[in-house]
Amino acid sequence: MKATPLSDAAQVTAVRGPVLDIRFPGTLPAIHDALEIATDVPIFAEVQAHLDERHVRAIALQSTRGIARGTPVRATGGPLTVPVGKAVLGRLLNVMGETGDNGAPLPADTPRRPIHHSAPPLASQRGQTEVFSTGIKVLDLLAPLAKGGKSAMFGGAGVGKTVLVTELIRAMVSGYDGISVFAGVGERSREGHEMLNEMHDSGVLDQTVLVYGQMNEPPGARWRVPLSALSIAEYFRDEDGRNVLLLMDNVFRFVQAGSEVSGLLGRMPSRVGYQPTLETEVADLQERIASIGRASVTAIEAVYVPADDFTDPAVAAISAHVDSTVVLSRQLAAEGIYPAIDPIATTSVLLDPLVVGEEHAKVAARLRELIEHYHELRDVIALLGVEELGREERLMVGRARRLQRFLTQPFFVAAAYTGMEGRSVPVAETVSGCAAILDGECDDWDETSLYMIGTLEEARAKEAARTDTKKGPKRA
């Protein structure tokens, strides 16, 4: 499509924060088309509505400082495009594909791809049952992640979502044959710089693309950042045939930015003040994450839960699209159980004997049943004490507490804060360790021997050392 030359340019007729009204002398640009505002430094906006035969309403993707009525506008003839391909590997980009890492400019011949793209046809997609081994015990046991699937980490503020996603990046990139694309949506500027430095230090940056729309940017930029990251991921999947790991932190901020945009455009709010197009926006994003042919896009998404309310419409809309649901618990975090993953609420469609094996599925079911029974007894224990329980119930409570502590694990990315070296545990070791605790092999062990360790053998060594210390030196 031929772009409108600046000589016959349209003009800005109104500026209300990031919302712009623009008059076109001829044919109106299509919804989602990008517009270039001709200020000293060009500013891009995206068409959101046709007001009448001559006017459109657009949302700016950058600060509107310097825009006045009468400022010329150029229609680009299509949606916003971002650079893709090998040139963007190891780079930090913004929503428009501009570099933000103080590196060299991207080559002029770098291919570009529109951020708006329809999901692949259902007939061309393929289902996935291949399991990722993350090395994180509680995830591998209770919520195995699917290659080519979508997994979401749900939790309120301060329960460890970002740390968990960062550890998954380290675990997967180190043993993952593919490209990683990280979308930072509405997060802190500090976190973006920390992520860039960590990936550089760990030597995985050359196979990673970072795309950020930070919390100090306009809502339009935060709203479109996931689409920019997804377009880069789709290019590697479709054109290069590479497997792609797409990490998004935080998807709730995408919904929140959409809600801000909706309010700025004057749309009537829906449930709990969210935009009326909430379900459609989430579906348009999630349905593009798919496997085609031999290549796949695997998504791991952090989702902030406002006020720990899991019935929030945004949380419900996102959870409807994921294969693995990982729920982080504030109560477990308060008890020092890290990662603070709730073993009851956490689920995965892959936790099936036909996928993970009979023994794995059986151990996971027994563990859930035991911990659920322990939760039922907690009120009784708080009122009367554990001594008032029967012998069998005391035994079950002890095993449940030991299982909770065995599923804790020091993370590599948190070593600077915890002072403990990270652990990565094979799935088989996790299953056999939990089976041993369920069968009563560790009933006489101190709970601290199972806390923040890797395999059961490490706990056995800690218990032996504790016992020797308790006995004291042998007499001559």
Instruction: Return d(Cα 395, Cα 389) in angstroms, integer.
Output: 9
Options 150, 161, 253, 288, the catalytic residue: 161
Q: Match 């479109």 to its residue by tokens.
A: 224
Tokens of 25: 């002398």
Residues in a beta bridge with 15: 20
Query: Coil, strand, or helix at residue 61?
Result: coil
Instruction: Return d(Cα 220, Cα 57) in angstroms, integer.
Output: 13
Q: Is 475 a catalytic residue?
A: no
Helix (H) or strand (E) holding 463: helix 456-471
Instruction: Return d(Cα 113, Cα 78) in angstroms, integer.
Output: 11
Distances, alpha carbon 17 to alpha carbons 58, 73, 78, 150, 228, in Å: 11, 17, 24, 35, 23
Helix, strand, coil fractions of the chain, as percent rounded to 5: 40, 20, 40
Distances, alpha carbon 404 to alpha carbons 59, 437, 464, in Å: 48, 11, 20
Options 187, 234, 281, 301, the catalytic residue: 187
SS in 3 state form for 216-271?
CCCHHHHHHHHHHHHHHHHHHHHCCCCCEEEEEECHHHHHHHHHHHHHHCCCCCCH
Residues in a beta bridge with 182: 210, 247
Options 188, 271, 294, 378, the catalytic residue: 188
Q: Is 188 a catalytic residue?
A: yes
Q: Match 């310097």 to its residue by tokens.
A: 66
What does the chain come to in residues? 476
DSSP 173: H
Residues in a beta bridge with 117: none
Q: Is 187 a catalytic residue?
A: yes
Instruction: Return d(Cα 254, Cα 274) in angstroms, integer.
Output: 12
The candidate with the shortest Cα–Cα distance to 300, out of 318, 317, 313, is 318
The candidate with the shortest Cα–Cα distance to 439, out of 357, 381, 359, 333, is 359
Amino acid (1-letter code) at residue 111: P
Q: 200, 50 in Cβ contact below 8 A?
A: no
Q: Match 């949506």 to its residue by tokens.
A: 185
Amino acid (1-letter code) at residue 472: G
Q: Which residues are known catalytic residues?
A: 161, 187-188
